[in-house]
Amino acid sequence: MTSTDEHAQAERVIDALHSRSAHPRIYDVRIISAHADEPGVDEPVRMNYVVEIPGVPGRITLPSGQSSLSDGNVGSIGYLVAAGQRGSIYSGREVYFYPYIDQTLRREPLIDGAEGLGWTCESMGFPFIAPHHIVPGSGGQFVRDATTPVTINVPSEFVEICAEFQQSPDSVLRAFIADSAGLMNFFSCPRADGYSSNGSDERDLAEQYLERTFGHFRLDPEEEARRERQQEEAEERESDASELAAALDDYIDAGGDARSLIAQVDAIVLAQQKQQSEED
pLDDT digits (tens, 9 = 90+) for 45-83: 678 889 999 988 889 888 887 766 655 678 999 999 888
Mean of pLDDT values over 88-92: 49
CB 198 within 8 A of CB 177: no
What is the SS3 assignment for 65? Answer: coil
The top-scoring range by mean pLDDT among 132-141, 213-222, 250-259 is: 132-141
Residues 6+ apart with CB under 8 A from 189: 137, 138, 141, 142, 143
Q: Model's pTM, two decimal places? A: 0.68
The C-alpha atoms of residue 24 and residue 16 are separated, in whole angstroms, by 7
48: nearest Cα among 40, 39, 211:
39
Q: Annotate 42-51 with b (16+ C-beta within 10 A) or e (fewer).
A: eeeebbbbbb
pLDDT at 210 (0 to 100): 95
Mean of pLDDT values over 3-12: 79
Report the range of poorest mean pLDDT among 42-51, 170-179, 253-262.
42-51
pLDDT at 153 (0 to 100): 97
pLDDT at 119 (0 to 100): 97
Is the pLDDT confidence value at 86 over 70? no
pLDDT digits (tens, 9 = 90+) for 16-32: 887 766 678 999 999 99
pLDDT at 41 (0 to 100): 59
The C-alpha atoms of residue 28 and residue 80 are separated, in whole angstroms, by 9
The C-alpha atoms of residue 255 and residue 248 are separated, in whole angstroms, by 11
Residues 94, 98, 104, 110, Cα dihedral to 10°: -60
Please compute Rg for the chain using Cα positions: 29
* Structure confidence at residue 264 as a pLDDT band (50, 70, 90): confident
Domain range list for the chain: 3-99, 106-140, 156-217, 221-279
The mean predicted confidence, pLDDT, of the chain is 86
| CA atoms 187, 189, 195, 200: torsion sign | negative
* Structure confidence at residue 221 as a pLDDT band (50, 70, 90): confident
Q: Annotate 217-248 with b (16+ C-beta within 10 A) or e (fewer).
A: eeeeeeeeeeeeeeeeeeeeeeeeeeeeeeee
Report the range of poorest mean pLDDT among 135-139, 200-204, 249-253.
249-253
DSSP structure class, residue 218: P
Within 13 Å and on the Cβ side, how many CA atoms surround 247?
8
pLDDT at 88 (0 to 100): 41
CB 15 within 8 A of CB 78: no
DSSP structure class, residue 241: H
Is the pLDDT confidence value at 5 over 60? yes
| Residue 91 vs residue 149, higher pLDDT | 149
pLDDT at 87 (0 to 100): 40
DSSP structure class, residue 23: S
pLDDT at 179 (0 to 100): 97
The top-scoring range by mean pLDDT among 111-115, 242-246, 272-276 is: 111-115
